[in-house]
Copies of this chain bind each other. A is one copy, B any other.
Amino acid sequence: MNIEHFLTNANPSWMQYESDSDIVISTRIRLARNIANVRFPISFTEQDAEQIEHQLMNALLAINRENPNRFSYFKVKDMPHLQRQILVEKHLISPNLARRQKIGAFFLTEDESISILVNEEDHIRIQSLAQGMNLQQAYAEAKKVDRYLSKSIAYAYEDRYGYLTSCPTNVGTGLRASVMLHLPVLTMTKQMNALIQMMTRLGMVVRGIYGEGSDNLGNVYQISNQITLGKSEEVILQELEKVVEQIIQKEQLARKNLLLRAPAVLEDRLSRSLGTLKYAKILTSEEAASCLSNVRLGVSLGLLEPISQRKLNECMLIMQPGLIQQYAGATLQSTERDMYRAKLLQEKLNEQTSNNGEKGEDSYDV
C-alpha cells in the first residue's frame, strides 16, 4: 500500500463512528517492547537499527500472509516534512519519530487501526486505535500483534519487572491506554483544572490531543494511565475505564445544568459557532477547533441541525495544518492555510447539509 493512501484518507474505518453521545471520541492502546540483547535506541548504532527493522519486516510479512488487514512498511528517512506532519496529525506516528533524520520506520495496516513504530524511543511500539470507548477491543488488537511478534522476536523481559523499556515510566506492562474525550461543558464551566488534579491523584495523565496551539484544542482531552509497573494490564484498563466513566457522567451533568440554567445563551453560542464555520473566510485552527467542538455539542444536545459525528471527526482531522496543505495540493503560509481551512470546512459542511446522515463505507480521497 502506497503512502498516498494514508495521506489522503480522511475517513479511516476506525474513525467512522456514530454513537448516542459525542463525548467519547476514540481509544488508543500503545505497547512498548524492546528486543533482548540489542542496545536501546538511545545508544544503538545504525547497524542495530537496520537489523531491527529487518527482523520486524520478516515477522510482519508472515502476518501479512495470513491477515487481510496487511501491514505496509515505510522508512522515515527521506520522507518529506509535510508527509510526516500529516501522519502525526492522523496519530499514525509520533512527533518524536517524525523528527528523525536517519533512523526510524513504521508499519501501518491498511485500515490505519494499527501502527508499529520501529526504533522510536523503544525498538517496537505497537499502537492500536479504536472508535469510541473500546479499551478491551483495542488492547486485544495490539496484543494479537504483540503475540505474533513474540513468536519470532525475543523481547527484553525480566520476571521481576516485566517488559524493559528505554524510559522507566514504561517498564512493566509497557502499556499506555488512552481515551479521547470531548469535554466542552466541563471546559466552559471551568471544572477541568480541578478534575485534572483529581485524575492525577488517581494515577492518570490528562493531555490535549493536538500539537498546534492550545493544549486542549477543540476541548478534546486524552486521558491515560500514568503507571505501567506493578499492575496487570487488566487492572490498568479497568481503572482507566472507571475514571473515564466518572468524567463522562460529570460532563453529562454539567450539560444538564447548563441547559437548565441558560438554554438560550447556550443555543446562541453553539449556533453562532455553526454560523462562523459556514461564513468565515479566514479560520485559524484554534477557532475552527473551538467552533467544531461547539457544533458537536449543539448537535449532541439537539440544539442544532443534525450533522454526523463521522463528518465532524473528518472536519477535526482535515483542518490541521499538514492535511490542509495536502488538500490544497500546495505549500501554504499561515494566513493562506487559514483561508483554505475556511473554504474546505464550508465545502464539507455544505456537502453535509445536502446529504444529511449519510453513512457510506467509502473513504474520502482528495
The distance in angstroms between the C-alpha atoms of A271 and B265, with both chains bound, is 23
**A272 in complex: contacting residue of B267, B274, B276, CB < 8 Å:** B276
Please list 12 pairs of residues, one from A and one from B, whose beta carbons are closer than 8 Å in the complex, sorted by A's number.
A264-B282, A265-B282, A267-B281, A268-B281, A272-B276, A272-B279, A272-B280, A272-B281, A274-B279, A275-B275, A275-B276, A276-B279
Contact A339–B278 (Cβ < 8 Å): no
- Most B CB atoms within 10 A — which of A272, A278, A282, A342? A272
8 Å CB interface, A249-300 against B = 264-265, 267-268, 271-272, 274-276, 278-282
The distance in angstroms between the C-alpha atoms of A152 and B274, with both chains bound, is 63
Report chain B residues within 8 Å CB of A274.
279
Report chain B residues within 8 Å CB of A282.
264-265, 268
Task: A264-B335, A279-B279 given; name 19 further pairs at CB < 8 Å.
Answer: A264-B282, A264-B339, A268-B280, A268-B282, A268-B342, A271-B279, A271-B281, A272-B276, A272-B279, A272-B280, A272-B281, A274-B279, A275-B275, A275-B276, A275-B278, A275-B279, A275-B280, A276-B279, A278-B279
- Enumerate chain A interface residues (CB-CB to B < 8 A): 264-265, 267-268, 271-272, 274-276, 278-282, 335, 339, 342
Look across to chain B and name the residue whose beta carbon is closest to the beta carbon of A280: B272
The distance in angstroms between the C-alpha atoms of A89 and B342, with both chains bound, is 38
Look across to chain B and name the residue whose beta carbon is closest to the beta carbon of A283: B268
Look across to chain B and name the residue whose beta carbon is closest to the beta carbon of A265: B282
The distance in angstroms between the C-alpha atoms of A282 and B267, with both chains bound, is 9
Report chain B residues within 8 Å CB of A265.
282
The distance in angstroms between the C-alpha atoms of A267 and B343, with both chains bound, is 13
Look across to chain B and name the residue whose beta carbon is closest to the beta carbon of A278: B275
The 7 closest A-B pairs by CB, nearest first: A275-B279, A275-B275, A268-B281, A268-B282, A271-B279, A267-B281, A271-B281
Report chain B residues within 8 Å CB of A267.
281
Give the shortest distance, in Å, between A346 (CB) and chain B (any CB): 10
Report chain B residues within 8 Å CB of A280.
268, 271-272, 275
The distance in angstroms between the C-alpha atoms of A280 and B268, with both chains bound, is 5
Look across to chain B and name the residue whose beta carbon is closest to the beta carbon of A281: B268
